[in-house]
């Protein structure tokens, strides 16, 4: 529910332009000016949302001297979208896009636009295969092993799922693979490794998204658990800089392990999270590589909606 503000003006042309192209501080300044709110009033409205931000910080944000980064600051940005009557995630999106520009020189990074496009394509391909969001299955455990090849490419991955059916008759799972920028899903190979076989496979060449039907060979009853494993051979793109997974629904444990070939070891690795594709990255934590296995990993006791990944920097 949105709180009322002193003004309900429609966006000015300047604000409209700033919201489309940014940068964040220009859009924030234009939005505050369009509503005619002094920063003290903005701070007051934020306090009604349970968010504490100083007037000085707000001034720095709209001048571009500082950027919101801490979780409390990002909560404030979301509240500002409501207080200033802006479209949902319009300011958050601009923050994410500025992060994209700041890391533009890194290989194979996933931009805001690429994540949104991939999400839309994923939903379309899933619908083509007649699947729903969860497919009647609740995730108890999801474990991924990603391989980075000697050319520093995403060579492939294997996934092990432990699921429980929450309705009768479930007999398949729709697996999603999102290749790195420039990948060719038509040249990828889906391998059914345990307790399943490959059915239909649909893909979108432009976004690098592939959705594969994995058939269980049995119909589960509500409450039944099931374990299955599959792999995707990729290796169709250039240098890889990260691997991430997007979760739409809560679930059980998730682990992600990235293995690097001896001939292609990164300089540094870190984990990261995103509340959504439009949100800035946070939760950064440096990861130590295990020797002699050349692996890094993260373990999340419970899956939460959002994005979790590992990124690395090449020497």
Is residue 288 domain-shared with residue 174, that is, in the same domain? yes
Cis peptide, bond prior to residue 292, ω within 30 of zero: yes
What is the dihedral sign for C-alpha 122, 199, 128, 233? positive
In which domain, by residue range, is 49 found? 13-102
The pLDDT, as a whole number, for residue 75 is 85
Q: Which pLDDT does position 279 carry in this prediction? A: 76
Instruction: Inform me whether the pLDDT recorded for 46 exceeds 80.
Output: yes
**Whether residues 249 and 134 fall in one domain:** yes
What is the band of 110 on the pLDDT scale with cuts at 50, 70, 90?
low
Q: How high is the mean pLDDT of the chain?
A: 88
Question: What tens digit of pLDDT does each residue of 18-39 get?
Answer: 788 878 888 898 889 888 889 9
- Boundary (domain end) residue, out of 70, 102, 134: 102
Mean pLDDT of 92-105: 63
Residue 98 within any structural domain of the chain:
yes
Question: Which of residues 203 and 275 earns the better pLDDT score?
Answer: 203
143 and 90 part of one domain:
no
Calpha distance 191→152 (Å, rounded): 22
Q: Are 146 and 235 in contact (CB under 8 A)?
A: no
Q: What is the pLDDT of residue 62?
A: 85
Residues 195 and 303 in one domain: yes
Query: Could you tell me if residue 279 is inside a domain?
Result: yes
In-domain check, residue 7: no
* 119-133: average pLDDT: 90
* Residues 25 and 81 grouped into a single domain: yes
Residues 56 and 190 in one domain: no
Banded model confidence at residue 63, pLDDT cuts 50, 70, 90: confident
Q: What is the pLDDT of residue 9?
A: 44
Of 123-132, 164-173, 215-224, the poorest mean pLDDT is in 123-132
In-domain check, residue 3:
no
The pLDDT tens digits for 134-152 are 899 999 999 999 999 999 9
CATH number at residue 270: 2.60.40
Number of domains in the chain: 2
Q: Per-residue pLDDT for 104 more than 50?
A: no
For residue 91, being part of any structural domain is answered with yes
Helix (H) or strand (E) holding 238: none
**Does residue 6 sit within a domain?**
no
Q: Could you tell me the pLDDT band of residue 160, with boundaries at 50, 70 and 90?
A: very high
The two structure tokens encoding residue 247: 């979760």
Residue 72: per-residue pLDDT: 77
One domain, residues 151 and 196: yes
* 149 and 35 housed in the same domain: no
Q: Are residues 146 and 225 in the same domain?
A: yes
**Percent of the chain topping pLDDT 70:** 90
Separation of alpha carbons 7 and 83, rounded Å: 10
Which band of pLDDT confidence, cut at 50, 70 and 90, is reported for residue 95? confident
pTM to 2 decimal places: 0.70
Based on the fold, state whether residues 223 and 287 are members of the same structural domain: yes
| Cα-based distances in Å from 149 to 152, 153, 263, 295 | 5, 5, 8, 13
Average pLDDT rounded to a whole number, residues 57-82: 83
Chain-centroid distance of CA 268 in Å reads 21
One domain, residues 79 and 170: no
Give the H or E element holding residue 138.
strand 137-148
Q: Is 188 a domain residue?
A: yes
Q: Which of 102, 120, 145 is the last residue of a domain?
A: 102
270 and 123 in a common domain: yes
Res 190: pLDDT: 98
Domain termination residue (choose one: 83, 102, 121): 102
Rg (CA), the chain: 22
In a domain, 30, yes or no: yes
């Amino acid at each position: 529910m949105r709180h009322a503000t002193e003004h309900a003006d429609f966006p000015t042309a300047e604000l409209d332009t700033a919201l489309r192209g940014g940068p964040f501080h220009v859009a924030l300044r234009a939005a505050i000016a369009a509503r005619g709110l002094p920063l003290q009033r903005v701070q007051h409205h934020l306090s009604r949302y349970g968010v504490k931000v100083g007037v000085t910080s707000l001034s720095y944000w709209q001048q571009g001297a500082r950027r919101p980064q801490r979780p409390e600051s990002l909560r404030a940005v979301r509240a500002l979208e409501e207080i200033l009557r802006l479209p949902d995630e319009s300011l958050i999106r601009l923050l994410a896009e500025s992060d994209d520009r700041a890391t533009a020189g890194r290989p194979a990074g996933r931009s805001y636009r690429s994540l949104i496009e991939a999400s839309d394509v994923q939903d379309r391909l899933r619908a083509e295969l007649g699947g729903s969001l969860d497919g009647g299955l609740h995730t108890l455990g999801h474990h991924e092993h990603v391989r980075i090849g000697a050319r520093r490419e995403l060579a492939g991955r294997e996934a092990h799922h432990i699921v429980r059916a929450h309705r009768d008759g479930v007999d398949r799972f729709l697996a999603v693979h999102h290749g790195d920028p420039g990948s060719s899903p038509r040249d990828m190979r889906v391998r059914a490794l345990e307790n399943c076989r490959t059915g239909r496979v649909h893909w979108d060449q432009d976004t690098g998204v592939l959705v594969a039907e994995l058939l269980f060979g049995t119909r589960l009853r509500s409450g039944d658990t099931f374990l299955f494993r599959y792999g995707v051979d990729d290796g169709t793109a250039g240098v890889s800089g990260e691997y991430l997974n997007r979760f739409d629904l809560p679930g059980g444990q998730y682990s992600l392990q990235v293995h690097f070939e001896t001939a292609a070891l990164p300089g540094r690795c870190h984990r990261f999270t995103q509340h959504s594709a439009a949100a800035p990255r946070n939760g950064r934590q440096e990861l130590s590589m295990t020797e002699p296995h050349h692996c890094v990993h993260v373990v999340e006791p419970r899956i939460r909606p959002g994005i979790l990944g590992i990124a690395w920097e090449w020497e």
